[in-house]
C-alpha cells in the first residue's frame, strides 16, 4: 500500500490569550505528529475531545497550515484546499434554499463541472448511491438529520475526490441512523475505492469502520498507537460484528490506551476552555 497522505513530525500551535487576558502565548495543539495514510485506505482517528483531531483534518484539507513539520499528499506539500480532497463536517452544511439535488449540483458547479446535464446526472447518481433517489427534490427542512448528512456525503462524493475527510460526521445522529450510515459508508468506500480519513471520539465507530485505527493522545496531540483492525466485515453478514469477541478485544485495547491518558486527573486549562467556547 503506497502512502497517499504523509504527516511528518507535524506541529501546530495557536496564539491564545494567557490568564491575564492581555498577553498572547503559544498553545501547542499538535507536536511531533507523524502518520502515513495509504492509497484507498479507510483510516479512523480516535481520541478525547480537544486532543487535536479536527486540527489534523483541517491540515490535511489545507484549511490550515502546519507551524512545523511536513504534510504531503501524493508527495506534494499541501498549500491549500483542493478538489482532490473533500470534507464532511459534523453539522449539516446544506444550502437551505436549494433541494438535495440542487445542493449537490451547486457543489459540482463550484468544482468546475461545466455541463448542466452532466451536473444533473452526476448529482442523481450520488444521491442514489446514498439511498436518496426518491428525495432529490426535497429541501433540507423536509429531510431528517440522517438524510441531510447523507446529502452532505453525496455532495462530497459527487466530484469524485481522491480523499474523503470526515470530521465526526455522524456525531449528531441517533444510534440507529448512525449504524445504518456507517454500513452505507463502508459500502460506498468499497465501491469507489476512495481514501477515507474518518475522525471520531467513539471507540466502537473507530473499530467498526477503520482498517486501521490511529489513537491520539492529548496535550500536545500526537499519535499514540496505530492499530490494524482485522475483522471480516463481509463474512459477518447479518451477524452483529460489534458483539464478537474479536471486536470486543479491539475495543478494550483502545479503551485502555485512552484510559491511560487519564492516569493523572485531566487539567483543562482556562485558555483551553476559552478557545473551545
The secondary element (H helix, E strand) that includes residue 195 is strand 195-200
Kindly list the strands in the beta sheet with 76-77, ordered across the sheet, starting from the edge strand earlier in the chain.
24-38, 3-17, 68-73, 76-77
- Choice from 5, 52, 103, 135 touching ligand ADP (CB under 6 A): 52
Cα–Cα distance for residue pair 253/250, rounded to 1 Å: 5
Q: What is the DSSP string of 252-263?
A: HHHHHHHHHTTS
The partner in contact with residue 184, picked from Mg ion, ligand ADP, none with C-beta cut-offs of 5 to 8 angstroms by kind, is none
CB of 56 to ligand ADP, least distance (A): 7
DSSP state of 266: P
> Which grid coordinates belong to 249?
478485544
Quickly count: other Cβ atoms within 10 Å of residue 49's Cβ: 11
Compare residues 51 and 123 and give the one whose CB is closer to Mg ion: 51
Q: Which is nearer to ligand ADP, 54 or 103 (CB)?
A: 54
Which three three-digit cell numbers place residue 169?
460526521
Cα(171)–Cα(175) distance, rounded to whole angstroms?
9
Q: Which stretch binds ligand ADP (CB under 6 A): 32-40, 46-54, 111-119, 141-149?
A: 46-54
Among positions 7, 10, 54, 61, the unique one binding ligand ADP when judged by CB under 6 A? 54
Q: Which of 72, 93, 177, 275 binds ligand ADP (CB under 6 A)?
A: 275
Q: How near is the Cβ of 182 to ligand ADP at its closest, in Å?
A: 19
Using CB under 6 A, pick the residue from 3, 9, 11, 16 that binds ligand ADP.
16
Task: Name the binder of 161 from ligand ADP, Mg ion, none, CB < 5-8 A by kind.
Answer: none
The footprint of Mg ion (CB under 5 A) covers: 53-54
Regarding 276 and contact with ligand ADP (CB under 6 A), the answer is: yes
- Does 27 bind ligand ADP (CB under 6 A)? Our answer is yes
Of 121, 126, 204, the C-alpha closest to 164 is 126
CB of 158 to ligand ADP, least distance (A): 26
| Residue 144 binds to ligand ADP (criterion: CB under 6 A) | no
Query: Which entry of ligand ADP, Mg ion, none binds 51, CB below 5 to 8 A by partner kind?
Result: ligand ADP
Nearer to ligand ADP, 53 or 148 (CB): 53
Q: Which residues contact 275 (CB under 8 A, 6 or more apart)?
A: 14, 16, 27
Lateral strand order in the sheet of 222-228: 85-88, 163-167, 195-200, 42-46, 212-217, 222-228
* 55 binding partner (options Mg ion, ligand ADP, none; Cβ < 5 to 8 Å by kind): ligand ADP
Q: Which stretch binds ligand ADP (CB under 6 A): 3-11, 42-50, 74-82, 239-247?
A: 42-50
50 binds ligand ADP (CB under 6 A): yes
Which position has the grid cell 475483522? 231
**How many chain residues interact with ligand ADP (CB under 6 A)?**
15
CB-based burial, 232-256: b 16+ in 10 Å, e otherwise: eeeeeeeeebeeeeebeebbebbee
Cβ atoms of 216 and 46 within 8 Å: the answer is yes
Regarding 169 and contact with ligand ADP (CB under 6 A), the answer is no
Residues that bind ligand ADP (CB under 6 A): 14, 16, 27, 29, 47, 49-55, 272, 275-276
Amino acid at each position: 500500500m503506497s502512502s497517499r497522505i504523509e504527516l511528518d513530525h507535524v506541529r501546530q500551535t495557536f496564539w491564545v490569550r494567557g490568564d491575564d487576558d492581555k498577553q498572547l502565548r503559544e498553545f501547542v495543539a499538535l507536536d511531533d505528529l507523524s502518520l502515513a495514510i495509504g492509497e484507498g485506505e479507510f483510516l479512523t482517528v480516535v481520541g478525547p475531545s480537544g486532543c487535536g483531531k479536527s486540527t489534523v483534518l483541517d491540515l490535511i484539507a489545507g484549511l490550515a497550515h502546519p507551524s512545523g513539520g511536513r504534510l504531503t499528499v501524493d508527495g506534494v506539500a499541501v498549500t491549500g484546499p483542493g478538489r482532490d480532497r473533500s470534507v464532511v463536517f459534523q453539522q449539516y452544511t446544506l444550502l437551505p434554499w436549494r433541494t438535495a439535488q440542487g445542493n449537490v449540483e451547486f457543489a459540482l458547479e463550484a468544482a468546475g463541472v461545466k455541463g448542466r446535464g452532466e451536473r444533473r446526472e452526476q448529482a442523481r447518481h450520488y444521491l442514489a448511491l446514498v439511498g436518496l433517489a426518491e428525495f432529490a427534490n426535497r429541501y433540507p427542512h423536509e429531510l431528517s438529520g440522517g438524510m441531510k448528512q447523507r446529502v452532505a456525503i453525496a455532495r462530497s462524493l459527487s466530484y469524485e475526490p481522491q480523499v474523503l475527510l470526515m470530521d465526526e460526521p455522524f456525531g449528531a445522529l441517533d444510534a440507529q441512523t448512525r449504524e445504518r450510515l456507517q454500513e452505507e459508508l463502508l459500502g460506498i468506500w468499497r465501491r469507489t475505492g476512495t481514501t477515507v480519513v474518518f475522525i471520531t471520539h467513539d471507540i466502537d465507530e473507530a473499530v467498526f469502520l477503520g482498517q486501521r485505527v490511529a489513537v491520539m493522545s492529548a496535550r500536545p496531540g500526537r499519535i499514540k498507537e496505530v492499530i490494524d483492525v482485522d475483522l471480516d466485515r463481509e463474512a459477518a453478514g447479518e451477524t452483529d460484528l460489534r458483539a464478537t469477541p474479536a471486536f470486543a478485544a479491539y475495543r478494550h485495547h483502545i479503551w485502555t490506551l485512552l484510559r491511560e491518558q487519564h492516569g493523572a486527573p485531566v487539567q483543562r486549562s482556562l485558555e483551553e476552555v476559552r478557545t473551545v467556547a
